[in-house]
Chains A and B, each alone.
Chain A
């Protein structure tokens, strides 16, 4: 009686398998993970070079600069989300799999976040320090980036799925994702700024959290639909 249940893998089987595979691929080719990180660090370096090293100004604009840099770095890594799988044909295998496609899409997104969002969160204190950010504000920054990069990976997965296989993919992807990502940037950066001014910042944090939860429950369906449409 339980035979069918035993031979049929559970619904999270595919999610775990696809996440593990993508992480393994990323481990074998660390360049793909490191390049956006270097990009993040370099954008953060550009700003003081352009506007001058005054500590006052850097403290003031630090949250915004770090957030914009994180957004751009995430954008940079999005294009490759489904590209490799599309080129070698494994995306077709994913699409015909008996596992629910939204969960597989969530697995790809999770792997993307672990290889791009999480490293950004982890190195952000280092760059925040160069902007003279106090330690407690750095904690707020990391928390907003943690929630924010989850949102960005999820939003980005929709855009990446819509543009997979298109020739002008990269520029188009930025054009699609940036307006969608603007509220995330706005909430994230302003929450950090409020924290830096010793003001109440919980509203922005809650809003980011709500956004992340909503995106987590809705975006995989949109990504799955987009993948089916792009690969018809």
Chain B
């Protein structure tokens, strides 16, 4: 087991392995998304309260979920990189940040599009989840700004890892304080917790979408980590040998 991790953490091995894994993540992921989108848009029944507008959850929930997951990847990558000085782990953090920001942006925009017919406004501060997502987006911006401000890669890795770890503690505090705050101001949430109230016909497409998005996220992340590894290892021998080999290594 330990050997497997050691091998995975070696940049040349990961670079090659990721290339074979990406299609195995992307193809099932895209199939699940195709099913989920079709079923969610056309087969699932109308919601008795929200009408057809609720169908936005089929993209909103996966995006919101991945926005958190990407942050977890960033913080875990940072922690592993700091503690075990694993170079690949820092590359994971660097690759996860822009993806996480993209999904946070999507969660915000789709949430706001949903809010328009439901609340009559594009933005409702009383909704704790939208507010938390907005703060999360700012955390991503801070992380990326710190990374780009430090020229030395090794230093940028460690500094941003510290920031990501501080941020992960903060995300928990943000969650609870925003919940408390919106309860003071009679905040309204669109998305009720838990699925028992949901019909199976509504729920299955949602689960398919969440799993599909996660797989596609894995593929997108793997591709970004490959790029990151290639850039970081550009002066090493294995990159040189790989590029000079007849097969190449794009």
Contact = CB atoms under 8 A, between A and B. Distances in A.
Contacts of A43: none
B184 to A, nearest CB: 6
Interface stretch (B55-63, B167-175, B193-201, B208-216): B167-175
Interface in A180-229: 180, 182-183, 186-187, 190, 194, 203-204, 207, 211, 214, 218, 222, 225-226, 229
Determine the interface band of chain B, counting residues with CB < 8 A from chain A: 20 to 34
Q: What is the predominant secondary structure among interface residues of chain A facing chain B?
A: helix
Given A179-B142, A229-B159, A230-B159, A158 B177 contact: no
B138 interface: yes
A91 interface: no
Interface in B109-137: 135
Nearest to B154: A232
Given A176-B163, A222-B162, A183 B177 contact: yes
B172 to A, nearest CB: 10
A162 interface: yes
Given A175-B145, A207-B177, A229-B155, A222 B138 contact: no
Contacts of B158: 229
Nearest to B174: A183
A115 to B, nearest CB: 23
Size range of the chain A interface in the assembly: 20 to 34
B111 to A, nearest CB: 18
Contacts of A186: 177-178, 181
B142 to A, nearest CB: 4
A207 B176 CA distance: 10
Contacts of A126: none
A226 B159 contact: yes
B145 A172 contact: yes
A57 B26 CA distance: 55
A179 B162 contact: no
Contacts of B82: 225
Contacts of A225: 82, 162
A168 B135 CA distance: 22
Nearest to B157: A229
A225 B82 CA distance: 10
Contact of A183 (B165, B173, B184): B173
A179 B135 contact: yes
A158 B174 CA distance: 18
Contacts, number: 78
A176 B167 CA distance: 10
A173 B140 CA distance: 14
Contacts of A172: 145-146, 149
Contacts of B184: 190, 194
Contacts of A167: 149
Given A179-B138, A183-B177, A162 B163 contact: yes
Interface string B84-108: 0000000000000000000000000
Contacts of A211: 173
A176 B145 contact: yes
Given A222-B166, A229-B155, A179 B139 contact: yes
A186 B155 CA distance: 33
24 contacts: A167-B149, A172-B145, A175-B141, A176-B145, A179-B135, A179-B141, A179-B167, A179-B170, A180-B166, A180-B167, A180-B170, A182-B174, A183-B173, A186-B177, A187-B177, A190-B180, A204-B180, A207-B176, A218-B169, A222-B165, A225-B82, A225-B162, A226-B159, A229-B162
Interface of A: 155, 158, 162-163, 166-168, 172, 175-176, 178-180, 182-183, 186-187, 190, 194, 203-204, 207, 211, 214, 218, 222, 225-226, 229-230, 232
Interface of B: 82, 135, 138-139, 141-142, 145-146, 149-150, 154-155, 158-159, 162-163, 165-167, 169-170, 173-174, 176-178, 180-181, 184
